[in-house]
Amino acid sequence: MTKTVLFCATVDYHFKAFHLPYLKWFKDQGWNVHVAAQGNIPLPFVDRKFDIAIERSPFHSNNITAYRDLLRIINENHYDIIHCHTPMGGVLARLAARKQRRRETKVIYTAHGFHFCQGAPLKNWLLYYPIEKVLSFLTDCLITINEEDYQLGKALRRKMRTEKIHGIGVNTTQFQPVDEEEKARLRKKYNLKDKDFILIYPAELNTNKNQALLIETVARLQKDMPNIKLVLAGKGLMEEEYRRLAEQKGIASHVLFAGFQKEIHEWVKLADVSVASSIREGLGMNLLEGMAAGKPAVATDNRGHREVIEDGVNGFLIPQGDTKLFSDRLLSLYHSLQLRKQMGEAGRNTAAIFSESCTVKEMAHIYKSFMNEEATAKRRLEG
């Protein structure tokens, strides 16, 4: 009988952006692959897709309907493995899988960054920590992508299996260095100048990503770096406020709100430095993509960025809110092509560790352990 796996997340774009290699891996093993998430994006390697109304907010009434839908889907299909992602996808799927888990369904949850962490607001600890503590009893394997979350996960429940992997995988074929000729071609394609010194930050425009810090940093640098250009590639609720801030600082011409870009790898390749300003981060995929393309990184100090940046080697870590040091580090890179090349090469070595091929192997090892566990249990019954 063909085995079946269910992947669950809040929105289906999560799978298109990050998990296609894992869907493919299961198909290559001869498994049926089901996906449950909000949205109607066509996904390859999927045999059946369920559009369910999961919402990001834990207080949204749609999540009650989503839970009931998931409960029905899980009870009808008797999955062998359920792998859930994103906070609400993880909560609802684990709750809905309680009955089937008692019937040998294995439930895996990947934490892409706990909302409770060092420096997080007290309300995050009061709300999210107790939830994860309870759900740890409904989880066969918790997968984390940074050391701080790994230690937190182990402390949730000793008997729960906790693993740490190198993120969700960087496509080092798509993100790779280009020569000056190709860099110039890409800049021309997107109406950017050869002389521009371009900082790239692909991220949702929100308070946590904290693009205000980058705008203020550019305002500090505009006199010393008249050709500086900050590219903010993404959409979000804070866009208008960030646009107003750039206007107020007199640097509107130095900040490009590029919106969501399907060909983000081209934008990363044409940039000079990869930057990130988030307050909380699970890993920092944008930095790793920049490193894969040979770009030095300058980013705020948080658990996710610490996981990928070795300060002074492949980039610089900046204390939260320190626009002066952020400016100084960017200025040192601006004035030294040698330093940019040196850090870019070190970053390439880092990105290789976090490459898609490596993380697929890591996840395959975890998946196979549960497959083997099931086979062993079956042999015991037959014996």
Residue 122 has pLDDT above 60, yes or no: yes
Contacts of 350 (CB under 8 A, 6+ apart): 288, 291, 308, 310, 314
Separation CA 318–CA 316 (nearest Å): 6
* Percent of the chain with pLDDT strictly greater than 90: 89
Query: What's the average model confidence in pLDDT over 128-155?
Result: 95
At 376, the pLDDT band (50, 70, 90 cuts) reads very low
pLDDT at 373: 63
pLDDT at 381: 42
Which domains occur in the chain, in start order? 4-168+356-382 (3.40.50.2000), 180-353 (3.40.50.2000)
Minimum mean pLDDT range among 117-121, 162-166, 172-176? 117-121
Instruction: Note whether 266 and 189 are within 8 A (CB).
Output: yes
- Cα–Cα nearest to 31, from 79, 73, 70, 75: 79
pLDDT at 181: 97
At 77, the pLDDT band (50, 70, 90 cuts) reads very high
Token duo for residue 330: 């960017």
Query: What's the average model confidence in pLDDT over 361-381?
Result: 75
pLDDT at 96: 97
Residue 174 has pLDDT above 90, yes or no: yes
- Based on its alpha-carbon atoms, the radius of gyration of the chain, rounded to whole angstroms, reads 22
pLDDT at 380: 41
Residue 379 has pLDDT above 80, yes or no: no
Query: What's the average model confidence in pLDDT over 241-266?
Result: 97
CA count, 13 A, side-chain hemisphere, 382 = 6
Query: What's the average model confidence in pLDDT over 230-237?
Result: 97
Residue 382 has pLDDT above 80, yes or no: no
At 374, the pLDDT band (50, 70, 90 cuts) reads low
pLDDT at 372: 77
pLDDT at 105: 96
At 118, the pLDDT band (50, 70, 90 cuts) reads confident
Instruction: Note whether 342 and 371 are within 8 A (CB).
Output: no
At 121, the pLDDT band (50, 70, 90 cuts) reads confident
pLDDT at 1: 80
